[in-house]
Structure 1
């Protein structure tokens, strides 16, 4: 009897996580589908535009994910308040999150407007840089809307009510295909913008989603106890801002490190020409889609762990965290195997160009290989954030992903020392180093999570 109780408890928590994770997964897939649509449609416009898209996306994603990661501090904060029954304090935190989003929007938009400074690192052709610059300057207009929507998303996820977020994300996806077709290829009197056309579509959709989200908050009875509207003007509270930033900056840095270690691969691979970077872009796009499954499970797990911590139940929090990590790892391994066997069909769904297919095909070995480590590290990182722990994980990310992943990839892929095996020169070297670094992150974060959970159960951790 006693040996069966932990298994039953684990299944129970896995079921709770799955019920919360599936709308998160669908919503995230809807967002990623926008990138898939961009890649597939632009690849049919020209290889030059696809290469420019890869460069532009690598920088935009790095900026957006880093800044939205700072806002990620809202999720465990609201989750713990909700778990503790302190609903009246949630509205204040959300309003402070909106002020923080304003500040981050200004910073991020300035970075994107001055993108040529960063694109110079790629040493790409002037044509690639020109198109990528235009793409990024258009995306700068979308950034405020996406960050304000991130606050809305964090609120709903922390309350374990993500279905409305999912509905809005699906609505945005429905608009993406016709807007892309019109703006990339031209029509109705508009010229063909090529790659930058998908940035215009993204900007329009981002603002429509953000406006719809906050209209729902203003109108629906669900949000009335939070007193977000009708309670008067609330100025920025420097105490609240410091608290959010103390947790949010390390989270944002870890997001930034994780994404740049991945996306800067495109910047370096661009030195090898348009075909290698196009093959990398397709592979990276598939990897991003697969990442949404463990990311959704990680976010759901983090919400339930934060609520348990807020309610003072540290043992329950530990069990939920363990169940979430196991669920993410198990499903990701299965999907990795399936992708390996279907790799050629997947690539040809992106592009009919046999040269680009040949460039992408060898990279899918790494897509299948790193699923285990990637799912483990992201779920563990989110569980740590539920405990409001982010500094040490950020250090682990920096040392491994930048040092081993990006640094090792540079040495293998570009072979500046002339010592890399021929099979690992080019994109394969970058992907191998990245995969190994993710394994190191997973091991390091798991070890640290055990330390944090033990401290929490002894009452030594301030949350």
Structure 2
């Protein structure tokens, strides 16, 4: 077991640092644009919610390359990896065209938000700039999926840390108009992001051509047109994966929209709890990605029992660390919340929600690691159905019933934001148990030599 934990940890820590760097991007944009103007900050928030939904849905599809390449790597079928990467880049180009249209013409989505004219104009400018960076973002996702698949996550981490170091000076230059540049506000943050995204994409492609670890794949040694058979295989796995990411994002987004009806103080408490949960989430996410890589490689090498053992140890590792995080959150709850706000009313609103977060995170760790291991087995349709039923049905539906006391029977202690958080925790528990049981069934069938279907 300790040998497996060591292998998983060795792949997980670079992923964790890279994920924290990505979170820092959003924090930096929010802090710096907030100092420019309130309108630009609101446009950033509205534009980011639209962009993230598009970005996560499309990059989720391209993440299918990771289990596919991981299994091929374990089977030592190296030239096929190169072919899959070329096909993934073609797929990224097609998805970028689709996403570009949504981002460059966001007016129907903004009409749903009923935003004031000034806010709408700044949001459109923000999104139209980001549209030109989407192809680079998707190309970099292909790069990161491949490097994770072959056990080289540090190659992603190094570039993400470098990008973070560029973000602050570029933001200063473009948001506030330093060195003779015009002050662009929120759109300046978007321009800084696309410059960084294109730099990451170009550097990533160069790395694929230069480093020895990628030479056996012969990725760019010859040109090829899209091959429908391989495109279809990636889409068959990628579309449900992208949809599952969207379900996670939208379930949380709608929870925030509903909680906003309870007032700004309650919403502020919810934001604190949500931010704590998001930071904690990065650890099981990283363990899930690392475990998925090792399981996919073991499956490719037909080491089915090793794959099952790695999966079990990875999930146990994530859950154990989540228990430790939960104890820390429970013990330091007042101190952690006080670090976010000096407002006594907001602190009071956040206290019960952060209490729930300690248990919410444990369920989150179980579901995310189980989901990633199932993707290593190239299984995604049933997990997506489990997500939809649990997160949309129990989480949002149950949260709405509790939060707004639809039946008139809900105790006051379970209404409001607490009702939504409790229902969301229950939904993650159901998803986690469902995914873990389904993984057990799939791994047993694969191990017995039968087709998974």
State whether TM-score is above 0.5: yes
Instruction: Tell me which residue corresponds to 1:319.
Output: 309
Q: Which moved more, 1:426-435 or 1:350-359?
A: 350-359
Distance 1:193 1:132 in 2: 13
Q: Which moved more, 1:353-362 or 1:216-225?
A: 353-362
- Name 2:67's counterpart in structure 1: 76
* Partner of residue 11, structure 2: 20
Distance in structure 2 (CA, Å) of the matches to 1:419 and 1:88: 62
Q: Considering only aligned residues, what root-mean-square deviation do their CA atoms show, in Å?
A: 2.8
Residue in structure 2 matched with residue 210 of structure 1 by the alignment: 201
Q: Does 1:237 align with 2:227?
A: yes
Alpha-carbon spacing, 1:360–1:108, altered in 2? closer, same or farther (3 Å) = farther
Q: Would the aligned equivalents of 2:33 and 2:186 in 1 still touch at CA under 8 Å?
A: yes
Count of aligned positions: 453
Of 397, 417, 422, which residue of structure 1 is paired with 2:387?
397
Q: Deviations over 1:67-107 (max 9, x none)?
A: 11111111111111111111121100000000111111112
CA contact (8 A) 2:104 2:128 kept: yes
Q: 1:58 aligns with which of 45, 49, 57?
A: 49
Q: 1:245 to 1:320 in 2, by over 3 A?
A: same
Matching of residue 97 in structure 1 with residue 107 in structure 2: no
User: 1:112: which partner in 2?
Assistant: 103
Q: Is residue 334 from structure 1 mapped to residue 324 from structure 2 by the alignment?
A: yes
SS at match of 2:133: helix
Q: Are the structure 2 counterparts of residues 436 and 394 from structure 1 closer, same or farther at C-alpha, using a change threshold of 3 Å?
A: same
Q: Does 1:309 align with 2:286?
A: no
Distance in 2 (alpha carbons) for counterparts of 1:47 and 1:72: 36
- The offset of 1:133, in angstroms, is 4.0
Stretch deviating more after TM superposition (73-82 or 269-278): 269-278
What residue ranges of structure 2 are gaps of 5+ in the alignment?
A: none
1:313 to partner: Cα distance: 1.1
1:221 aligns with 212
**In structure 1, the residue corresponding to 2:80 is in which secondary structure?**
helix
1:237 & 1:291 partners in 2: Cα distance?
A: 37
**Residue pair 1:50, 1:278 contacting (<8 A) in 2 also:** no
Q: Rate the CA distance shift 1:112–1:36 in 2: closer, same or farther, 3 A.
A: same
How far the C-alpha of 1:176 sits from its partner, in A, is 1.6
Match of 1:294 in 2: 284
Distance across 1 between alignment mates of 2:111 and 2:48:
15
CA distance in 1, matches of 2:417, 2:111: 20
Q: What corresponds to 1:259 in structure 2?
A: 249
Distance in 2 of aligned mates of 1:64 and 1:307: 27
Length-normalised TM-score, structure 1: 0.88
Residue in structure 1 matched with residue 21 of structure 2 by the alignment: 30
* Distance across 1 between alignment mates of 2:98 and 2:412: 42
The CA deviation at 1:407 is 2.4
Unpaired stretches in structure 1, ≥5 consecutive residues: 1-9
Shift of 1:350: 5.3
Q: Write the mapping of 1:31-46 to structure 2, written as runs, cut at 5 A.
A: 31-44=22-35
Native 8 Å contact 2:22 2:160 kept in 1: yes
Distance between the aligned counterparts of 1:360 and 1:193, measured in 2? 35
Distance 1:354 1:182 in 2: 37
- The whole-number CA distance in structure 1 between the counterparts of 2:110 and 2:259 is 13
For the structure 1 residues 28 and 196, does the alpha-carbon distance in structure 2 shift closer, same or farther, using more than 3 Å as the test?
same
1:406 matched to 2:396: yes
Whether the 8 Å contact between 2:281 and 2:364 is mirrored in structure 1 is yes
47-56 or 134-143, which deviates more: 47-56
1:121-140 alignment, distance < 5 Å: 121-122=112-113, 129-140=120-131
Is the CA contact 2:175–2:185 (under 8 Å) kept in the aligned structure 1? yes
CA–CA separation in structure 1 for the residues paired with 2:70 and 2:245 = 20
The farther-off stretch of 31-40 and 417-426 is: 417-426
Task: For residue 63 of structure 1, report the CA deviation from its aligned partner.
Answer: 1.7
CA contact (8 A) 2:176 2:184 kept: yes
Q: Does 1:460 align with 2:442?
A: no
- Which residue number corresponds to residue 141 of structure 1? 132
- 315-324 vs 327-336, which moves further: 327-336
